[in-house]
Amino acid sequence: MNLGIRSSSTETIHDPSHVLVVGKSPINRVVVSKIVERSGLRPISESPDMAARTLRSLVPGAIVLDGGPDNRDCDNLMPGIETLRRTSGKSLPPVILLSTKTGTPESLGLSSVVDVVVAKPITPERLQPVIDRLVRR
């Protein structure tokens, strides 16, 4: 379901049916992508470096970031995501961080860009309800 909503100045496509899955580990990206598909959404799996380019042309329905061992694997994306959310005026797209630690974004000292922290190991029972809730809000 591509809505094809385009911004006249930047040619950015807003597509809530896509979820951007970002992480250095290809295995974790595949696991998360399968969970995204179970929610009836279309995953776009990218490394942190490639994801920055993707976010310049597509605003997905949600972003799932694999923080890696220290929650910092995707730090280079935070300024771009923050800009997207500020321009949306609604803190969209929502951002989920997959973390080795449990807690809230605030308790873990994470960027204000992160909406929800999901502790690893990644399982459908933990991640899918979070994706469903954030994408449908």
Q: What is the DSSP letter of 75?
A: G
Are the CB atoms for 35 and 102 separated by under 8 Å?
Answer: no
Tokens matching residue 94: 């929502």
The two three-digit tokens of residue 42, written as one number: 């279309």
Lookup result for tokens 């997959």: 98
* Segments of the chain assigned E as strands: 5-6, 13-22, 42-46, 58-66, 95-99, 116-119
What pLDDT score does 137 carry?
A: 66
Per-residue pLDDT 10s for the chain (137 aa) are: 344 444 444 567 888 999 999 999 999 999 999 999 999 999 999 999 999 999 999 999 999 999 999 999 999 999 999 988 888 878 889 999 999 988 778 777 776 899 999 999 999 999 999 999 998 86
Q: Which pLDDT score is estimated for 1?
A: 38
Residue 35 confidence (pLDDT): 97
Q: At which residue do the structure tokens 């998360």 appear? A: 32
Query: Can you say how many angstroms the Cα of residue 20 is from the centroid of all Cα atoms in its chain?
Result: 5
* Alpha carbon distances (Å) from 121 to 1, 66, 99: 31, 11, 9
